[in-house]
Structure 1
Amino acid sequence: MNITKLVWAYIAERPSIRDCMKKGLVNHSELARQICEHHKMDKFDACLIACRRYAEKEAPKIDNENSIRDLMKTSKLRVRNKIMVAIIEKPRDMESVLVFEKNIRKKRGDINIIEGEDVVTVITNETYSDEVKEYFKSRVIRVTKGLAQVNMVFDERIESTSGVVSHVYSLLSEYGINILEEMSCWTDLMLIIDEKDLAKSVNCLSQTS
């Protein structure tokens, strides 16, 4: 039995403990006892050493988290409501999708396309719901309305700062907000959420930006 792997897995599977470990807020002795009780083993000393090693391993990441927070403070937030997401069966030729995108842009509509292996995700204004269904016809797998788009615009430091996206996911998760779609383009991060969560999202992200 590898005690270190067992202890590190226990901590890694529990984000609340993991976060507190990074910040030095955990009593290692109490955590070691908890892990021993959980696995019904008498290996307190080995668990304690493994807990301390985990804390030492995570310590350098605090500097990175500070960098992320600094980056968040200078980010800009832009939101759009009344957004819809359509999941389309991917055509052999993507040209038809690009033509649709061009038509929406001619009407000054908002549209983003995410190309997957088997499907294409079309993110646009609810106004164009009927046009999506008419244009793609039987290729439409699902249409979801009542969504909102949150755009976070960072500066160029995001290229050299790891963990920004996971940090944003973690923040929204704490508020019970589910991210339905996500895409990025250099310094921009775009998130699609349920419109009912828009106010909470703005509040959450504004506190750190």
Structure 2
Amino acid sequence: MNTSEQTINYIKEHPHISHCLKKGLINYSALSRLISEELKLTNKTSLDAILIAARRYQEQLTKEKSYEKDAIKLLKKAELEINNKITIIIFEKNGEDIETVKKDTKGIFHFIEGSECDMIITQERNEEKIKSKLKKIVKINNNLALLNLQTPNTIEDTPGVVSYLTSKFSENGVNIVEFLSCWTDNMFAIKEEDLEKAIRFLRF
């Protein structure tokens, strides 16, 4: 792989750099030095090749259609539903009847089936009842909040909405513990301590 290809791959692997390139917010000399150090291509020829490759890739990016405006336009019509005191229970598959597990629980109950383990997202008040009906629990995450961004149904025809949303969490240092979606519902489980911050950056 030549220097130009390595440069483009590096930029693609760092979406925030791609975003700034597309917006014309990058100092090419500083970017070239960063990439040369990261990729250990420190001679003068490599540095020049990196700079040229970055400029050419920026030209390519600006020609591509940007979906960010469409995503923001859609998200301005979304409604945010917030639930705190959420727990996530991860357990091994042992033939449990989920309807039996769900019985007598109140409020939120989301069941997600995985390849090796299954998961239940619910409110903390249901935790003990659910635990008593499961054979082998792998992990329990407590002190979580569940944010449900309810969008118009045009989300299914609007590229980049979920990508834009997840980038907002990353940029603000908020970890997404779990993410799930069901048509117009886009649910993010995060730590309760990050809730106030998330509410601020999810205002569109």
Normalising by structure 1, report the TM-score. 0.86
CA distance in 2, matches of 1:103, 1:21: 53
CA distance in 2, matches of 1:129, 1:33: 52
2:83 to 80, 102, 108: 80
Residue 170 of structure 1 deviates from its aligned partner by: 1.2
Question: In structure 2, what is the equivalent of residue 165 of structure 1?
Answer: 162
Deviates more, 1:40-49 or 1:138-147: 40-49
Residue 73 of structure 1 deviates from its aligned partner by: 1.4
TM alignment of 1:119-134, pairs within 5 A: 119-134=117-132
TM alignment of 1:27-42, pairs within 5 A: 27-32=27-32, 34-36=34-36, 39-41=41-43, 42=45
2:194 to 190, 193, 197: 197
TM alignment of 1:33-182, pairs within 5 A: 34-36=34-36, 39-41=41-43, 42-61=45-64, 63-92=66-95, 96-104=97-105, 107=106, 109-136=107-134, 138-182=135-179
CA distance in 1, matches of 2:88, 2:164: 24
CA distance in 2, matches of 1:131, 1:61: 52
Does residue 10 of structure 2 align to residue 21 of structure 1? Answer: no
Q: Which amino acid aligns with 1:170?
A: S
Normalising by structure 2, report the TM-score. 0.88
CA distance in 2, matches of 1:180, 1:36: 34
Q: Which has the higher helix share?
A: 1
Paired residue secondary structure (1:39): coil
Paired residue secondary structure (2:188): strand
CA distance in 2, matches of 1:34, 1:113: 44
Q: Structure 1 unaligned runs (5+)? A: none
CA distance in 2, matches of 1:165, 1:44: 35
Q: Which runs of 4+ in 1 moved over 6 A?
A: none
CA contact (8 A) 1:22 1:62 kept: no
Change in 2 beyond 3 A, CA 1:3/1:88: same
Identity in percent: 38
C-alpha root-mean-square deviation of aligned residues, in Å? 2.1
Residue 58 of structure 1 deviates from its aligned partner by: 1.8
CA distance in 1, matches of 2:87, 2:199: 19
CA shift digits 1:15-55 (9 cap, x unpaired): 43222101111243553455456511314553333212211
When the two structures are aligned, how many residues end up with a matched partner?
201
Change in 2 beyond 3 A, CA 1:30/1:148: closer
CA shift digits 1:88-140 (9 cap, x unpaired): 11123x5x113323542xx4x2110111001111011100111011111x322
